Amino acid sequence: MVCCVVTTVVAAVVVLILTVKFIYHYQSGRCTSKTRLVGKTAIVTGASAGIGKETARDLAQRGARVILACRNVEKAERVAEDIKKTTGNTDVVVREVDTSDLTSVRKFAEDILRTETALHILVNNAGMSGMKKRKLTADGLEVTMATNHFGHFLLTNMLLDVTANSVHPGAVYTEIMWKGETNLIKSIFALLVWLMGKDEKLGAQTSIYLAVSEEVNNVTGKYYVDCKDTKVSAAAKDAGLAKKLWEASEQLVKLRPEERHY
């Protein structure tokens, strides 16, 4: 009797997981644009794994010159070779950058400005999950904020006077789940995302959509989920708060006049 009950419960859980996974995947956005990017140059940070890797692969498939901007150069080189083989595009290169290190970001941006004739797409994808203990970078910034925000803030200012939009990829299972310190709650969350969330290719769709779709050519300052313009929170619409964040970011990265492109 107990065995029968356990089997029933397990079966119900499996059915629930599969149902949630099916619905979530069915509702997920997909980029259907056939835009070609021959003659265009794109940079994808954190492109050695996960969403960044699949975004870079798609842009290369469309004919773009793709620069994998990564901290781990050796790992990125292996990914670049894989992208070349799967897309037939040999114009895929690796450049070193650590978005948690402002000196590294500045060197990378200066190299790009010196060596590339144009830049058309910048995908700020590199990131890390939070840590239990506060850790500071050499610049005196909290390492998670430096990696996820300050480095990309500086990089974007230096490289592009871009339209700029934000993306939420959804619940995507990538190796970022295991970066940084792990605990029981984080491990359970990672397991659930593995069971029911998106894979890397599906998770990359909104980033790809914003990079290539004709529909968003002149759209800026928006927030996208599943390839759709989505409402933001009240805090995100607070112009005063946004101004304070921008000014604080300028101050903390020590943004120089010549680095401003807006």
Which of these, 108, 102, 151, lies nearest to 126 by C-alpha position?
A: 151
Backbone angles phi, psi at 193, to 5 degrees: -65, -40
Burial of 94: CB neighbours in 10 Å, binned 0-12, 13-18, 19+: buried
Domain that holds residue 237: 36-162+173-259
Residue 141 pLDDT level (bands cut at 50, 70, 90): very high
Answer yes or no: is 65 within a domain: yes
| The model's pTM | 0.89
**172 and 198 Cβ atoms separated by less than 8 Å:** yes
Q: Say how far apart CA 41 and CA 119 lie, in whole Å.
A: 5
Asked if the structure places residue 8 within a domain, the reply is no
Determine, yes or no, domain membership for 111.
Answer: yes
The residues, ordered by sequence, that sit 6+ positions from 139 with a Cβ below 8 Å of its Cβ are: 101, 102, 103, 146, 150, 252, 253
139 within some domain: yes
> Considering its fold, how many domains does the chain have in total?
1
**The total number of residues written for the chain in this structure:** 262
pLDDT over 90 at 20, yes or no: no
Highest mean pLDDT among 11-25, 86-100, 189-203, 226-240: 86-100
Q: What's the CATH number where 88 sits?
A: 3.40.50.720
Let me know how many helices (H) and strands (E) the chain has, helices first.
10, 7
33-64: buried (b, 16+ CB within 10 Å) or exposed (e) per residue? eeeebeebbbbbbbbbbbbbbbbbbbbbbbbb
Q: Do the domain assignments include residue 219?
A: yes
pLDDT in tens, 165-206: 999 988 887 877 666 667 777 788 778 878 788 899 999 999
Q: For residue 4, what pLDDT is reported?
A: 65
What share of the chain has pLDDT > 70, as a percent?
94
Task: Output the 3-class SS for 152-204.
Answer: HHHHHHHHCCCCCCEEECCCECCHHHHCCCCCHHHHHHHHHHHHHCECHHHHC
Asked if residue 4 is part of any domain, the answer here is no
Report if residue 7 sits inside a domain. no
**Secondary structure element (H or E) that encloses residue 232, with its range:** none
Nearest-CA neighbor of 41 among 22, 68, 8?
68
Q: Quote the radius of gyration of the chain (alpha carbons, Å).
A: 20
How is residue 202 written in tokens? 């599906």
Q: Does residue 65 have a pLDDT over 60?
A: yes
Could you give the CA distance from residue 206 to residue 151 in angstroms, rounded to a whole number? Answer: 22
Find out whether 55 and 64 touch, Cβ atoms under 8 Å: no
Q: Is residue 148 part of a domain?
A: yes
- Torsion sign (Cα): 29, 32, 33, 34: positive
